[in-house]
Chains A and B, each alone.
Chain A
Amino acid sequence: MKKGLLKLVAFSVLVVTLASCAKAPQAEIDAANVAIEAAKTAGADRYVPESFNSASEALKTAVTAVEEQNSKFALFRNYDAAKTTLASVNTLAAKAVEETTAKKAALKAEVTASLTEIATIIAANKELLAKAPKGKEGKAAVEAIGQEIAAVETVSTEVTAGVTNNEDILTLSGKIKPAVEKAKAISTELTEVIEKAKSKGGKKAKK
């Protein structure tokens, strides 16, 4: 009877002790890691580095908080703060993905607009090139401008293919912007060459 009572008391103490031990939020840590990886795969580290860094730093803080609790005696562990931080990691990572998607969409729209613009300018440049002084007169200059147009057109083709193949839009954006500027410069140059030729022709006629 006495021994039975003692065993019951000891067992109850053991059950209460074990039941009161908090469990490490391993599932939440795994989920947060997955969220960070997803953000990285989406390109958040390149497109929205600030947001991505915030999420990564929060994960580090959360993991440290978990280990801080793991360092304590089992009865005194409390993972609530770590869980809150882990939840914020998911939120921040999701936000980074969202921002990345938005930035990519905005860049894609910009690149698409630039492609339309450059196509128009290239077509106009080709027309201007056809009007530029031909034959012996200014042939080398016209040929040189022709090569400039060809270079711009090649970039435009590359970027168009890149957009179709869903290549990195940030890189494509960096390629197309200077090409548009170049196409505009060629347009100005050609216009000036034609105007110069016209005015020379006019002067010659007066002699």
Chain B
Amino acid sequence: MGISRSQVPKQSYFSVSLLIAIPLKILGIYLLRMKLGWKKRLFISIGISVSIFVIVYMVLILTMDKPPLAEFKTCQQILAKAKRANADVYSPEYYGTAERKYQAALIEWKIQNEKIFFQRNYTRAKELILTATLKAEEANASSGVNKNSLKMKYLQEVELLKLKLDNYHDVFIHLPLKVSVRKNYEFGKLSLEQGLNAFSSGDIMQATKRLNEGKLKIGIADKEVNTLLKEYFGNYSKWQNWYTSTIRMSEQNGGYALIVDKIKHKGYLYFKGKLYKEYDVEFGRNWIGNKYFAGDKATPEGMYRIIKKKGNGDSKYYKAMLINYPNDEDYASFNSKKRQGLISKNSRIGGLIEIHGDGGKGADWTSGCIALSNSEMDELFSKTPVGTPVTIIGSRISLAELLN
């Protein structure tokens, strides 16, 4: 750190005093010895004193510590560059330190300037401004890196959130969700769009803020949906067994079999154990879960068969194929639930579950039947004779697969 401050003035004062006092003493002695008039003595005294003063001043000026002007200018330039690179936003720690050190250096410079000139020592100010410069350089360098990593992180999170929204639109949109859940998804989506708008304007901080708002809303909605789905997917192993048995039947019989996936809202037609065609299907509005009683607007889940085919005009809808709901298992389940008091004693088991046309509305509107568009109904109707297995399951894939 060099000489301590308490030592500097004493040494300086002593040196300067000696520098001025000794020549003046010699001059005084010399002038007293000389037999000159007072005017001449005054003239010589002033002349010599000024000369001594100038010499001493020049010596002090030349040997004194130089102020850190160049260092400050360099630091200012780098700080300005860092600021323009938004280092205060993307590298706040380095930039903040640089600014603080700059101010500390300035204060130190001021303190030194307030001292008499030969007492000044700019070492500390120079050290501080050097630290400020180094921090500003680090801020400038890391700002770009941080900005890019923040951008990358933002875009990754956007993708994740979009995936969740895609799930909502492609899978969850069909779920009978509460209004508050749908609202949270919509708010989350809007926040995401607001964030993307800010991102395209280069305001990543604002974009991140909006993204986080969106994440929060979508997170709340997702939690409710996940709880609902987790409960629903409790039957997954049963669905898997039905699914594999149905395909095996199609393979063994060398015929068609229809597997209806409620979550995907798809009907998969298999022929000789191989997927032949898939169709968009619609259900009753309370399709999530099994059908328990008549009028619950639910579509049943189980292994069934087509027991009757109705051509156009024979049905309320455009063509229809009746399935054998309720089967023995459905009766057993219905009676058990009735005994447990899970359903009303007065309720009746439903029936007349059909695969019919007039679908393609983009909504779950039936009373529990499976609706297809008329053109697809035509094709399915022509391929599937009475006796064709119709298996209705919650999902062909697991919940984890579905959500990923």
Q: How would residues 98 to 118 of chain B score, 1 for a CB under 8 Å from any chain A CB and 0 otherwise? A: 000000001001101110010
Decide yes or no whether A188 CB sits under 8 A from chain B. no
Q: Is B183 an interface residue (CB 8 A)?
A: yes
Which residues of B have CB within 8 Å of A147? 179, 182-183, 185-186
Q: Are B186 and A150 in contact (CB under 8 A)?
A: yes
Judge whether B285 is part of the interface by a CB distance below 8 angstroms.
Answer: yes
CB contact between B362 and one of A64, A138, A181 (< 8 Å): that residue = A138
Of B18-26, B190-198, B239-247, B270-278, the stretch lying at the interface with chain A is B190-198
Closest to B194 in A: A178
State the total of A-B contacts with C-beta under 8 angstroms: 113
Q: How far is the CB of A66 from chain B (nearest CB, A)?
A: 9
Q: Which residues, 159 to 202 on B, are CB-close (under 8 Å) to A?
A: 173-174, 176, 179, 182-183, 185-187, 189-190, 193-194, 196-198, 201
B113 CB contacts on chain A under 8 angstroms: 67, 70-71
Distance, CA A144 to CA B172, complexed state (A) = 11
Assess whether B361 is in contact with A138, with CB atoms less than 8 Å apart. Answer: yes
- Bound: A150/B184 CA distance, A: 11
Interface residues of A in 49-65 (CB under 8 A from B): 53, 56-57, 60-61, 63-64
Closest to A135 in B: B365
CA distance A199 to B126 in the complex (A): 81
Check B67 against A67 for contact (C-beta < 8 Å). Answer: yes
CB of A153, distance to nearest CB on chain B (Å):
11
Q: Are A144 and B173 in contact (CB under 8 A)?
A: yes
Which residues from chain A contact B198 at a C-beta distance below 8 Å?
174
Asked if A141 lies at the interface with its beta carbon under 8 angstroms from chain B, I say yes
Q: Are A64 and B72 in contact (CB under 8 A)?
A: yes
B67 touches A140 (CB 8 A): no
Give the docked Cα–Cα distance between A181 and B106 (Å).
51
Interchain CA distance A135-B174 in the complex, whole Å: 16
Q: Are A154 and B361 in contact (CB under 8 A)?
A: no
Residues 216-255 of chain B, each 1 if its beta carbon lies under 8 Å from chain A, else 0: 0000000000000000000000000000000000000000
Does chain B have a CB within 8 A of A121?
no
Chain A residue contacts of B120, Cβ below 8 A: 71
Contact of B80 among A57, A73, A174 (CB under 8 A): A57
Bound form: Cα–Cα A175–B209 in Å: 12
| B364, CB-defined interface residue at 8 Å | yes
B interface, size bucket: 35 or more
Cβ of A118 under 8 Å from chain B: no
Encoded as 1 (CB less than 8 Å from any A CB) or 0, chain B from 75 to 86 comes to 010011001100
CA distance A15 to B205 in the complex (A): 60
Nearest residue (CB) in B for A133 is B361
- Judged by a CB distance under 8 angstroms, whether B145 is at the interface is no
Closest to A178 in B: B193
- Known pairs A6-B42, A70-B110; A171 contacts B190 (CB<8 A): no
Cβ contact within 8 Å between B76 and A57: yes
Contact (Cβ within 8 A) B206 A174: yes
Q: Check B106–A63 contact: CB distance below 8 A.
A: yes
Query: Is the C-beta of B318 less than 8 angstroms from some C-beta in chain A?
Result: yes
**CB proximity of A16 to chain B, nearest CB, Å:** 14
CA distance A183 to B176 in the complex (A): 24
- A73 B117 Cβ-Cβ under 8 A: yes
Within 8 A of A (CB), among B351-371: 358, 360-366
Residue in A133, A144, A155 whose CB lies within 8 Å of B190: A155
CB pair A67 B106 closer than 8 Å? yes
A63 CB contacts on chain B under 8 angstroms: 106
Q: What CA separation (Å) do A155 and B38 show in the bound complex? A: 96
Contact assessment for A137 and B183 in the assembled complex, using a CB-CB cutoff below 8 Å: no
**Central interface residue in A61, A141, A151, A179, by most chain B CB within 10 Å:** A151
Judge whether B193 and A144 touch: CB under 8 Å: no
| A127 touches B (CB below 8 Å) | no
Q: Is the CB of B69 within 8 A of A53?
A: no
- A53-B80, A67-B110, A174-B206 known; A137+B363 contact, CB < 8 A: yes
Interface residues of A (CB under 8 A from B): 2, 6, 9, 53, 56-57, 60-61, 63-64, 67-68, 70-71, 73, 133, 135-144, 147-148, 150-152, 154-155, 171, 174-175, 177-179, 181-182, 193, 200, 204, 207
8 sample A-B contacts, Cβ–Cβ < 8 Å, listed by A number? A2-B38, A70-B114, A71-B113, A73-B57, A73-B61, A174-B206, A177-B197, A182-B190
Q: A61-B76, A67-B69, A171-B206 are in contact. List 8 more A-B contacts (CB 8 A).
A: A67-B72, A67-B110, A141-B363, A142-B363, A147-B179, A151-B187, A154-B187, A207-B312
